[in-house]
A and B are shown apart, each in its own frame.
Chain A
Amino acid sequence: QSALTQPPSASGSPGQSVAISCIGTSSDLGASNLVSWYQQHPGKAPKLMIYEVTKRPSGVPDRFSGSKSGNTASLTVSGLQPEDEADYYCCSHGGSDNYIFGGGTKLTVL
């Protein structure tokens, strides 16, 4: 199975909103509610930001939200802050007892 498709980069100014897309197929992302998003700062381990498409773990700011329509999931970061600058990865259950990650999106806060 191929990796989920994410844009390589996204950007926004402080206070703005930015959405990052994650495109799969009807066999993986389109068929699953087990979609999660991870934030990774340079040299650090990934951090869970969204699970089950829309849910936030305790401690994750409500500026982060997730959604899904068809074969596309999205992560929206509202009220951008400098510390949001990081790489973001989507992940979905692959439908064959496996999981598939996206290629990652580098978010730049201008």
Chain B
Amino acid sequence: EVLLVESGGGLVQPGGSLRLSCAASGFNFRNSWMTWVRQTPGKGLEWVANMNPDGSGKYYLDSVKGRFTISRDNARNSVSLQMNSLRAEDTAVYYCARDGVSGARDHWGQGTLVTVSS
């Protein structure tokens, strides 16, 4: 069974930093693209970043470029999202997802809530 478990969310002040982690199991992690998607409370989904299997390719939503960094540890089957210079508009539930066939996100974690507020 594919399992994705996010952790690291919480309350942070504007300008602060937070690191999200996602532990993966049940599939060949080192061969999978991984993605972070966020959902503003009561609103829609927004693709944030993804990374190719060996970590050489990282892609970001324009509004998080230079502030967020996606990384992975294939030995530990985990992917992370380092979030710096956080803004109120970054407040959302952050989901970790596996990119399956043709870039579609076929498995999702349960999400972790990030709240940016003073």
- B42-86 interface bits toward A, Cβ cutoff 8 Å, 1 = contact, 0 = none: 011111001000000001111000000000000000000000000
Given contacts A51-B100, A51-B106, contact A46 B95 (CB under 8 A): yes
- A3, A45, A51, A89, most chain B CB atoms within 10 A: A45
- Sorting the interface of chain B by its residue count into under 10, 10 to 19, 20 to 34 or 35 or more gives 20 to 34
Closest Cβ of chain A to B75, distance in Å, is 26
- A86-110 interface bits toward B, Cβ cutoff 8 Å, 1 = contact, 0 = none: 0001010100011111111000000
- Residues of chain B from 97 to 118 with CB closer than 8 A to chain A in the complex: 100-106, 108-111
Closest Cβ of chain B to A65, distance in Å, is 16
Given contacts A98-B61, A101-B46, contact A45 B95 (CB under 8 A): yes
What is the bound-complex CA distance between A89 and B45, given in angstroms? 8
Whether B61 contacts A104 by the Cβ 8 Å rule is no
Could you say which residues of chain A place their CB within 8 Å of the CB of B50? 99
CB-CB nearest in chain A for B109:
A45
Whether B104 contacts A51 by the Cβ 8 Å rule is yes
- The tally of residues in A whose CB lies under 8 Å from a CB in B reads 26
Asked whether A52 is an interface residue with its Cβ less than 8 Å from the other chain, the reply is yes
Whether A101 contacts B47 by the Cβ 8 Å rule is yes
Whether A101 contacts B104 by the Cβ 8 Å rule is no
Asked whether A36 is an interface residue with its Cβ less than 8 Å from the other chain, the reply is yes
What is the bound-complex CA distance between A40 and B59, given in angstroms? 25
Whether A46 contacts B105 by the Cβ 8 Å rule is yes
> Interface on A for B, CB 8 Å cutoff?
1, 3, 33-34, 36, 38, 40, 45-48, 51-52, 55, 57, 89, 91, 93, 97-104
